[in-house]
Structure 1
Amino acid sequence: MDLEHKNKGHFASPDSSGIVHPNHSKLSNFFEQAHAPTTLIFISAILEIVLGVGVVFASITGFMEPLWFSNLMCLIGSLACTVGVFLLYHLLHRNHSAEQLIQDATRRIMNAQN
């Protein structure tokens, strides 16, 4: 089975293995690594936290004039910040779980061989 049949129906390119290719430019290698799903989730979580805190700060300090609009924006900013923190926690917890799973599997293999 060649590489075209394995990747059929998937969006991943054959070169998206994370290996730095010497014939590609540094910019193309950067964009190839930056399009990983974990990188995009991390960037979106950080931006959501920062923008949520910014909206809450702007509404509390009085930059928004009608009180009802300020309260609404404070609520929306708080929810955005909470969702960003959840995304960041989920991303970091998922990576930690994968490492723990690998360590447990290695331990089981070592115990089975002994």
Structure 2
Amino acid sequence: MAWLTLALAGCCEVFGVIGLKQVSMRKGLRAWLLLIAAFAGSFSLLSYSMQYIAMGTAYAVWTGIGTVGGALVGMFLYGEPKEWRRVVFIAMILSAAVGLKLIS
């Protein structure tokens, strides 16, 4: 259950990044609500999962999910470059997070 909670925390982190981008583009109430709700949910779920998963592992996986998700959202929704080197490094981050799960 803790790993599922950690994955959900990472997904909330991605929505928080989307909210951050929306706030920087539009500054509307809806964007602010998404930003605040997503980051609040992310930190709450991360805090819960850290009760059962080692802090270093939980934080690394959480930031990995957020980093990979943010990069993919940037590439697919906001037109950021999709060059092969970027995809390779995203895959390396993802594989490191999976590796941490496997040895924990």
Normalising to structure 2: TM-score of the pair?
0.42
Normalising to structure 1: TM-score of the pair?
0.39
Higher helix share: 2
Whose Rg is larger?
1
